[in-house]
Structure 1
């Protein structure tokens, strides 16, 4: 009996199905699977998923939540490896963000595409998808507290730094960085860009 079936028999059918769907998405590189596929992967009957999910869209929403949670955990782990308030802490978050997207390519479209937008619109007050961003905001706030900068709008600065990491992740994901800059290291690009941005803030004082 596989782990998902074991989880099901312990009353954790919902999570077993989310894990099954996530594995199918990663294996196939897309969300091209049916509810029966997730049920089969979880080791349950074809009717079992509907005890927790009205349809595949609801299951995908749960997978998106799971992906954002995993991303948040990864950036939280990364920032803890660096001194609080340092530029390195901010860079570590950006690198973790890019690394997550590279390792889970199939989730990029789900999280940032139409499915992710729809899920956000349906649950505008749900902050689970923002967990990783709040880690970045805390790191930016700590950096501002330790550096002489005039600009202390932490939210605005965080969005600018986030867009830097997200932009590099997006274009690197499909090979566009290497297309224009062969042998480029996207992590080095992020590091130099972040230092340039932060040093620019300091020089404005």
Structure 2
């Protein structure tokens, strides 16, 4: 249980976020209540209403913080395409998996909490920042082809995003090797390489 002193130090909002992350990791993003978050944070059931209108708003804050860190990690991994776009692209995939593995509560809030990202200005902003990294990477990778032969960057970004999310859902969670003897990182890397070869973006 979170330390009750967090409330007295003026950190109630963050204490509730941390409590919610723990509950999501334990129960999933749809199975906790605001009262449980308050109890986990060591405060009264009425205390969360000082910062959040309800459970969904608290879940949105967890997702917002997650998207912010997620975008930072992807941007740092891409590093403007250095030393080359393909290497940078593969680092982005590794960063995606690392975030899902190290921040499962945030990841589930972001992608499995049933939130309307389009209906929330802050969620839209932070999720778009992460998406922009994939768009930039796709554009740099396809720059070697003539303009008329380049696949749409948005399509590429969506396909890679879907591939990474599928690897997380199917192969990253649970006991290692439970569903596949191949590590999730290798599963994602091989899938991305096959996809890029199919588009004619890499040789081999």
Paired position in structure 2 for 1:186: 184
1:95·1:165 contact (CA, 8 Å) conserved in 2? no
Paired position in structure 1 for 2:193: 195
Q: Secondary structure at the match of 1:38?
A: helix
Q: Secondary structure at the match of 2:171?
A: helix
**Shift in Å at residue 157 of structure 1?**
1.5
Paired position in structure 2 for 1:171: 170
RMSD across aligned positions (CA): 3.3
Q: Does 1:39 align with 2:38?
A: yes
Paired position in structure 1 for 2:63: 64
Paired position in structure 2 for 1:49: 48
Paired position in structure 1 for 2:117: 120
Q: Tell me, in whole angstroms, the C-alpha distance in 2 between the residues paired with 1:37 and 1:176.
A: 28
What residue ranges of structure 1 are gaps of 5+ in the alignment?
none
More helix by share: 1
What is the TM-score when the length of structure 2 is the normalising length? Answer: 0.76
Q: Tell me, in whole angstroms, the C-alpha distance in 2 between the residues paired with 1:201 and 1:87.
A: 13
1:84·1:139 contact (CA, 8 Å) conserved in 2? no
Paired position in structure 2 for 1:138: 136
**Shift in Å at residue 4 of structure 1?**
7.8
Q: Tell me, in whole angstroms, the C-alpha distance in 2 between the residues paired with 1:203 and 1:90.
A: 12
What is the TM-score when the length of structure 1 is the normalising length? Answer: 0.76
What residue ranges of structure 2 are gaps of 5+ in the alignment?
none
**Shift in Å at residue 80 of structure 1?**
2.9
1:78·1:92 contact (CA, 8 Å) conserved in 2? yes
